[in-house]
Amino acid sequence: MLAASALAVSGTVALAGPAAADINHCQTVIKTSGLHTLDTNIGPCEKNGIIIEADNVVLDLQRHFVTGSNMSATGPNEQVGILFRKSMNSTVKNGIVQNFDAGVAIVGGSGNTVKNVTAQNNINHSNITGTINACNFGDGITVQDSSNNKVMGSKALNNGPFSGISVVGNADNNTVDANIARNNTASNENPAFVNADNPEGNGPCGPFSATPTGVGRNHQDIGIRIEGPGSNGNQVTNNKAWDNQLEGISIHGYVCLTGFPSPPPPGFPPTGTPNTNNLVQGNSVLRNGFAAPGEALDGIGVLRQGPFGNIVCASNDNTINGNTSSNNAHDGIYIPPTGSNEIQSQGSTINNNTVDNNGRDGIHLDGPFTTNTAIGTVVHPGANDNTLMNNNGHGNAAHDGFDGNVNCDNNNWVANLFGTVNQACVAANGGTGTVIGPIPV
């Protein structure tokens, strides 16, 4: 699931001069700024669809289809429908991109826009054909190591195995606004990968196990994900994230343990590059987390868990405001423990959300946990220093509001209207809620 550099492209055609306004075949490379239009449906493309290498490009697909060949691809190279390669201030709009390893990928550069694009059925071809590849892609629309981009008014439908829309790597101040991310449920598995060591047939697409070439987790498809490491100040606003395999919207953790090898082993992410100060606001997050057998996942999740176990820390200092996160398989909003005794604060603001009828808790703040090490038992702090105000939750299966820390630790619950809570401090400061255990001790 970790980002890599842009794909190498061979056998491409470079456009220049006035003729650049007409695009009618696969593997077109746009090298001149200005308006470019797609005049017909193109594909199935055996490699990439259209590559933008110039700055200040406007690519209007004019409601045409750009179609890849992930249903039959057997090579190790991945395909992208619309690839922004280190482009700046460019736009793609008004079309359908389907059947690639990624529908639209912004790799490097900055200030680009994806507008009114439907990215559908973009599933890494390793999952379909059983071919081993690098799995840099597995999304409908992805922003990788690029900042100040906008993904707006678009649809990400039935992509995977990673997500509908993603922001990956060193990617700051991106805006994901008014999109639909729905039914992204592709699993990372294929019968071709079944063997004695891998009975479930998990495919090669990350997150990596003990080595970069190890099999990946089979269920990991998220509606909208902020992964990083080093993704800060991104805004996920006014989207619909419905019916996705795992979380509707997630902010991932990062490797934080001091002493982790530096430089890290090949394929492992760098240490100490958190994802912070991201905004999740005004989204409709419904019915997520049901598509993975044996797993029930959340509507909006801040994730500590990762391929490196307890050396992964949670993202902190985020704002989760004014969302509706209801009817999800697990929690409406989930905030994890910090993951390391060196990282003491999460400091998120969780205000004005509606969390009804979820499979466990409406809002769930995890308490501390312990791990056994060679030097003894290590206690890791729970989710703390968070502010939760004016949230409303009813009808959740376990609790409408839950804090796993004794006396809520340094979490400040204010004026939340809940039906049930797990301890009195969750219903304090003008809030409501009948206490139903367990109470942390």
Please tell me the pTM assigned to this model: 0.90
Report the pLDDT value the prediction gives residue 272, as an integer from 0 to 100.
Answer: 62
Distant-in-sequence, close-in-space partners of 137: CB < 8 Å, separation ≥ 6: 78, 80, 100, 101, 102, 105, 124, 162
* Residue with tokens 């994806």, as numbered in its chain: 114
Report the pLDDT value the prediction gives residue 254, as an integer from 0 to 100.
Answer: 75
Cross-strand bridge partners of residue 250: 225, 301
Q: Which amino acid is it at 279?
A: L
Q: What are 418's two structure tokens?
A: 């809940």
Report the pLDDT value the prediction gives residue 130, as an integer from 0 to 100.
Answer: 85
Which class is domain 20-435? mainly beta
One pLDDT digit (tens) per residue for the chain, 441 residues: 444 333 333 334 444 444 445 799 999 999 999 999 999 999 999 999 999 999 999 999 999 999 999 999 988 899 999 999 999 999 999 999 999 999 999 999 999 999 999 999 999 998 888 888 888 999 999 999 999 999 999 999 999 999 999 999 999 999 999 999 999 999 988 888 887 777 777 888 876 543 445 567 788 999 999 998 889 999 999 999 999 999 999 998 876 655 555 565 555 555 667 889 999 999 999 999 998 877 889 999 998 655 444 567 788 899 999 999 999 999 999 998 876 544 556 789 999 999 999 999 999 999 988 777 666 677 778 899 999 999 999 999 999 999 999 999 999 999 999 999 999 999 999 999 999 987 775
DSSP string covering 81-138: EEEEES-BS-EEEEEEEESSSEEEEEES-BS-EEEEEEEES-B-HHHHH---------
Report the pLDDT value the prediction gives residue 250, as an integer from 0 to 100.
Answer: 96
Task: HSE, CB side, 13 Å, CA atoms: give it for residue 54.
Answer: 20
Contact 79, 100 (CB under 8 A): yes
Report the pLDDT value the prediction gives residue 6, as an integer from 0 to 100.
Answer: 36
